[in-house]
Amino acid sequence: MIVAEIGSGGWPRALEAVRRAGFEGETILVGSAALQPAAEGLRARFVPAEPGASAQRQRAQGLAASRAELAASVSEDYIVDAAWLAAARSAEADVTCGPVTPPAGAGWAARAAWMWEYAHLPAAEAAGPIAAREAAWIPAGNVVYRRAALPLDELAAAASEIEAHGALAARGLRFVRDPRLRAGYRPPSPAAFLRDRKRWSAEWARRAGRSRPIAVAAALALPLVLPARQARWWLPRPGWRLRFAAALPAFLAFSVAQALGELSVALGPRRP
pLDDT digits 0-9 by tens, 150-170: 998 888 888 788 889 999 999
CA-based angle 103:81:62, to the nearest 5? Answer: 100
Q: Which residues pair with 97 in a beta bridge?
A: 143, 177
What residue spans define the domains of the chain?
2-185, 190-266
| 212-234 helix and 190-208 helix, angle to the nearest 10 degrees | 130
Tell me which fold the domain 2-185 belongs to.
Spore Coat Polysaccharide Biosynthesis Protein SpsA; Chain A (3.90.550)
Sign of CA dihedral 35, 37, 42, 43: positive
Taking Cα atoms as reference points, which of 208, 234, 231 lies closest to residue 219? Answer: 208
What is the model's pLDDT at position 76?
77
Report the range out of 2-11, 35-44, 52-61, 208-217 with the highest average pLDDT: 208-217
What pLDDT was estimated at residue 99?
A: 93
Return all residues near 79 (Cβ < 8 A) that are at least 6 apart: 17, 103, 183, 184, 185, 186
pTM score: 0.82
183: number of Cβ within 10 Å = 23
Amino acid at position 151, single letter: P
Q: Which residues pair with 100 in a beta bridge?
A: 183
pLDDT over threshold 80, residue 214: yes
By CB atoms closer than 10 A (0-12, 13-18, 19+), residue 221 is middle
The pLDDT tens digits of the residues spanning 58-109 come to: 888 888 888 888 988 888 788 888 898 899 999 999 999 999 998 778 889 9
Contact yes or no for 99/121 (Cβ under 8 A): yes
Q: Please report which helix (H) or strand (E) contains residue 72, including its range.
A: strand 70-74
Other Cβ atoms closer than 10 A to 116:
20
Pick the most confident of 36-40, 64-68, 108-112, 265-269. 108-112
